[in-house]
Amino acid sequence: MKAKKICIVGASGKLGQYMIEHALAAGYQVSTVCREQSLPKIARFVGRIEMHAAPTDDADTIRQASQGCQAVLTVLVPWGMQRYASGTAQAVLNEAPEDARLIFSCGWHISLDGQDRYDWKLKAIVAVAGRIARWLRVVDIDDQVRATQQIFNSDRRWTVVRGSDLEEGDSEGLPVWSKHVGDPILASNRTRRTDFALFMVHAINDATLIQQAPAICSSKSESALRYSPQH
Ligand SMILES: NC(=O)c1ccc[n+]([C@@H]2O[C@H](COP(=O)([O-])OP(=O)(O)OC[C@H]3O[C@@H](n4cnc5c(N)ncnc54)[C@H](OP(=O)(O)O)[C@@H]3O)[C@@H](O)[C@H]2O)c1
C-alpha cells in the first residue's frame, strides 16, 4: 500500500525538523518547504523527503509541495516585518488540497475565543518583547495574531496548536491539552519541543481537534500529573 503523504511548511527550524522525524517514523511520505538558505539544516534527510526551496508564503510553492497531501503542518513564526506569518497562513489556506487537515503552530499568547486567562508574567513578556522586537524590526507578533485570525475565520479543517514555554530533551510523550490557558492542567507551562512536534503529527488523525486551538503542556509536568483525569 502506498504511504500517505503530508507536507511540512517551515521544515528547517527546530520544530520543523522534529516534525520530519516523527512523520517519517509514523510512515508518512514527507514533502517539505523551507527557505533556500536553510536547506543545509535538513540535508541529513536527503533521499528520504521531498524538498521545495522557497519562502513559505510563496503560493505556487505551497500548491506544488502540498499536492496529494492529506495534511499540511505549518510553523507560524512572527519573523520580519513583511507579513510573513499571515502570508504563509493565507498561502496554505488558499493552496492546500481541499480536504487536507491543516495544522498550525503558535504560542499561548494567541486566543481563539478570548477566554484564556494569562498570568502577569506572560502578559509582560508578550507586551515588552513584542514592543522591543517591533522597534528592532525583527519580529512582528501582531502578524502572528493576524495569521491566526485568518485561520480561525476559515471553514477549512484546521487546528492551531498553542505551545507553552519549550525546552529541549528526550520525549515525555504526547502532551496534554486544554481549550484555555489558565486551566490548572497547564499551570507548569513547559513542553519538550520534540513533543510539540509529536502533537502536531498526532493532530492529523484526531478529529476532536478540528477547528480547535489546543494549548499544550508536557504530560509529565507537575500540573498534568496532578490534574489529568486518569490520575
Ligand atoms: N520558542 C518558544 O519558546 C516557543 C514557545 C511557544 C510556542 N512556540 C511556537 O513554536 C513554533 C516554533 O518556534 P521555535 O521558537 O521553536 O522556532 P523554530 O522551530 O526554530 O522555527 C523558527 C522558524 O523561523 C524561521 N525564520 C527564522 N528567521 C527568519 C527570518 N528572518 N525570516 C523568515 N523566517 C525565519 C525559520 O526558518 P529558517 O530555518 O529558514 O531560518 C524557522 O522556520 C512557532 O510556531 C512558535 O510560535 C515557540
What are the cell numbers at 225?
500529573
d(CA 93, CA 79): 19
How many of the other CB atoms lie within 10 Å of CB of 99?
Answer: 9
CB of residue 12 inside a 6 A radius of ligand 1: yes
Q: Can you tell me whether residue 43 is helix, strand or coil?
A: helix
pTM of the model: 0.95
Nearest to residue 165, comparing CAs of 222, 217, 210, 113?
217
Residues 6 or more apart in contact with residue 188 via CB below 8 angstroms: 164, 217, 218, 221, 222, 223, 224
Per-residue model confidence as pLDDT tens digits over 189-215: 999 999 999 999 999 999 999 999 999
CB of residue 204 inside a 6 A radius of ligand 1: no
Nearest to residue 78, comparing CAs of 125, 133, 135, 132?
133
Q: Can you tell me whether residue 78 is helix, strand or coil?
A: coil
CB of residue 227 inside a 6 A radius of ligand 1: no
DSSP 80: S
- In a mutational test of the pocket of ligand 1, which residue from 21, 51, 77, 217 has the highest number of ligand atoms less than 8 Å from its CB? 77
Nearest to residue 214, comparing CAs of 74, 108, 73, 128?
108
CB of residue 163 inside a 6 A radius of ligand 1: yes
CB of residue 10 inside a 6 A radius of ligand 1: yes
Mean pLDDT, the chain, as a whole number? 93
What is the domain class of 5-227 according to CATH? alpha beta
How many of the other CB atoms lie within 10 Å of CB of 84?
Answer: 21
Per-residue model confidence as pLDDT tens digits over 111-167: 999 999 998 777 777 777 767 766 666 667 788 999 999 999 999 999 999 999 999
Q: What is the pLDDT of residue 63?
A: 98
Q: Is the pLDDT of residue 231 over 60?
A: no
Which atom of ligand 1 is least distant from the CA of 16?
A: 19
How far is CA 151 from each of CA 3, 67, 86, 145, 172, rounded to the nearest angstrom?
Answer: 28, 20, 9, 10, 29
What's the pLDDT band for 3 if we cut at 50, 70, 90? confident
* Residue pair 116/108 in contact by the 8 Å Cβ criterion: yes
What's the pLDDT band for 79 if we cut at 50, 70, 90? confident
For the chain, report the end-to-end CA distance as a whole number of angstroms.
39
Instruction: Measure 75 CA to ligand 1 centroid, in angstroms.
Output: 7
